Amino acid sequence: MSTRRNFLQKMGLGALALQLASVKTFATDVPVDDIPYEGQTLRVAIMGLGGYGTRVAQSMQNCSRAKLVGVISGTPSKVTKWQADFGIPEKNCYNYDNFDAVKNNPDINAIYVCTPNAQHHGQVIRIAKAGKHAICEKPMAVSAKEAREMIDACDKAKVKLLIGYRMHFEPHTLEVIRMRKAGEFGQIRFFQGLCGFKTGDPKQWRLNKALSGGGSMMDIGIYALNGARYMVGEEPIWVTAQETKTDTVKFKDGIDETIQFQLGFPSGAVASCLSTYNVNNLDRFFLDGDKGFAEMLPSTNYGPINGRTHKGPINQPYTTHQTVQMDEFAAIIFDGKQPVIPVDGHEGLRDMKIIEAIYQACKTGKKVTLLA
């Protein structure tokens, strides 16, 4: 497997066409799916036409409130292919040098950044200056300072900044959170998040610190970190961490291979998490309280997500994560909808601050206190 996304793709791509694009509800006798949407449409240009950008594009074909209308890429051949595959008009195609001109293109009102981590900062700031809403893959930046600057730029331009936390809309995940809020697990005591895979091509951008900003922690590890926060329902107040590296040729300085990290929460709950580029089949969340538990296995891949609690299986519909995410983003931007778990720039900034503390704890061997 060459990348995390290829790993996850093997687990979930086959289900992409089979998963439910939406859930039927019956406020009237007519299913919501069959009622044509007549409101504002989120008209999106995707920046970065790699594997994940392609997955988002494919998933958006089933959106009701979001539409793929443009592309931004440094590879002309990819632009040509996307024009053919998705019917993108020439006037909505840009490269990394000229995409500031999108400011004068009314066809596009949002840009989804799917480029390497280190490029997010500058690209989102340019998007904000162009007056377009910015959607950015996670991690949103390679430092908390950069994340803060991205938030400030979007605030100044009065545009939205949303981070691609697709799991925040996933039905099994939301059911566990509902149960936790309802007190069905009692006092939360412990969370475990295991996220990892064996990374492949040593020349890929994820193993280049100048592009990735780090190793497994900046990639697959953010799922365990973010999951600990939304599953426990609190913000951690301290972190400890340990790094293990078995291959110093493949995982050079600044590229972490495996990190174990622990989080402490105000209530006394603790989390134990693992992020790795050297172990396959790690995709499990476990939440434990004094009245019950929840386990999700797999917990964060492209699906289908499965889970169980002390009450039995979690019976929620399977969805195409990116389809739901993009429709939800439209509702946030146009309707002011407040998601159960935030997906704004401040949510991304919180993760960045904790990731920096994890790296500090690895370096010093000491417990690091997290500031509010």
DSSP string, 300-355: SSSS---EEETTEE-----B-HHHHHHHHHHHHHHH----SS--BHHHHHHHHHHH
Shared domain check, 154 and 268: no
Shared domain check, 190 and 94: no
Shared domain check, 181 and 84: no
- 251-280 pLDDT, tens digit per residue, is 999 999 999 999 999 999 999 999 999 999
Task: Look up residue 130 and give its amino acid.
Answer: A
- 156-168 pLDDT, tens digit per residue, is 999 999 999 999 9
What pLDDT is stored for residue 39 in this prediction? 78
pLDDT at 24 over 80: no
Shared domain check, 259 and 157: no
Is-catalytic flag, 145? no
Domain contains 323:
no
Global pTM? 0.90
Is-catalytic flag, 245? no
Between CA 6 and CA 301 the distance in angstroms is 11
Shared domain check, 145 and 36: yes
The active-site residue out of 112, 132, 138, 160 is 138
Q: Which domain holds residue 180?
A: 167-318+345-369
Shared domain check, 357 and 208: yes
Shared domain check, 178 and 272: yes
Write the CATH number for 124. 3.40.50.720
Shared domain check, 172 and 272: yes
What single DSSP character describes residue 64?
S
The active-site residue out of 94, 112, 223, 302 is 223
Q: Show which of 101, 131, 166 is a domain's final residue.
A: 166
pLDDT at 333 over 90: yes
Shared domain check, 9 and 95: yes
The band of 74, judged by pLDDT with boundaries at 50, 70 and 90, is very high
